[in-house]
Structure 1
Amino acid sequence: MAKKTVEPAKRPVVLIIRDGWGYNPDPAEDAYNAIKRANTPTDDMLMSEYPNGLIHTFGEWVGLPDGTMGNSEVGHQNIGAGRIVPQESVRLSHAIRDGSFFENQVFLEMIAFLKKRGGKLHLMGLCSDIGVHSRLDHLYGLLELAKRNGLKDVFVHCFMDGRDSPPDSGAGYIGAVQDNALRIGVGRIATVMGRFYAMDRDSRWDRVQKAYECLRVGKGLKAASAAMAVAQSYAKGVTDEFIEPTCVVDEDNSPIATIQDGDGVVFFNFRGDRPREISRA
């Protein structure tokens, strides 16, 4: 049988990605639809004269949990692969459900080291359930891992969202983290700060320095509890994304925990772009 050959394209094919250019079929929303209200002759021509279709860019269609909104990284990855690519968040959640997460040798070796040396475990990441950078069930899985292995000195460093989530939703997320830590039986919130400081990715090192100093040496604002840290910020008109690095302190006004040599640190964000600078610091 003769081998089939692929005929070379006679004309170039161009893939153009218009980031943020969406489509809403509901005419009731036209008054609030910037694209519909704009003068778009090129788009009008393309849509009327050439074949076109709509694609799904969220949830299981792009390898995310059902109902989770998509983002540029996920969209580009699926387009480049030409297939659905299960995202890190989905694989992590599945590993927690099937139990393999709790058998991860890297985690177990770190825990054994901390128990031998008396070190603390620090869990830091974006405290939000939007699913763009992190998921709270991954944090709870780490707390459960610590509980199962007898670690008691476990501290959470909450980076507040307010960018992908509503700007004043952080108080609810702090409450959820505290409630689940109590349910699991391990973990205390040690610092609270906005992603503006802790998750910069544009070499604004002055911001990163403030986050680092809060995490490492306890320099920054102080609050008697994580909930109070958020409330104090809201009282000044500063919402989640921009909450200044704040240490939770004890009765002696000293931070309940800072990251010291010999401690273990796990960054529970699953996207790698925004943890790089603070991790490097």
Structure 2
Amino acid sequence: MSAPEVSERLNEAIASDKYDVIVINFANPDMVGHTGVIPAAVAAVEKVDECVGTAVEAVKKADGVLFICADHGNAEQMIDYETGAPFTAHTTNPVPFILVNYDDAYTLREGGCLADIAPTLIEIMGLEQPREMTGKSLLVRR
């Protein structure tokens, strides 16, 4: 998988201070989750955890803000609870939406949904949310 390469490019981009927004996808847990091989999924999650850790440090040095999210689950359920067979599909389990901001100016309110992610990003960027967006920002100013 390409997580180390994506991570390296991400950290370079953060350090360059050329971008207002960077969006990336660490696909390893999703891709490996589809195999149903638990040790491979554990290794993929561990590698992505390491890569997210370096991104957090890069964002801290850049005095930036980092959101971590997912659009579906997969690697968190590798066994079909009814049959005991490998479970290789996406799940509908709740997914994380984490805010990392070292100036502590914001936190996130509880109870959001996927439709709230874009409005949250739009607000932190200081842009106006289009009327067509039905989601609500999860940002709470401290």
Verify same fold: TM over 0.5. Answer: no
More helix by share: 1
TM-score (structure 1 length as normaliser) = 0.23
TM-score (structure 2 length as normaliser) = 0.37
Larger RCO, structures 1/2 (Cα 8 Å, 6+ apart)? 2
- Largest Rg, 1 or 2: 1
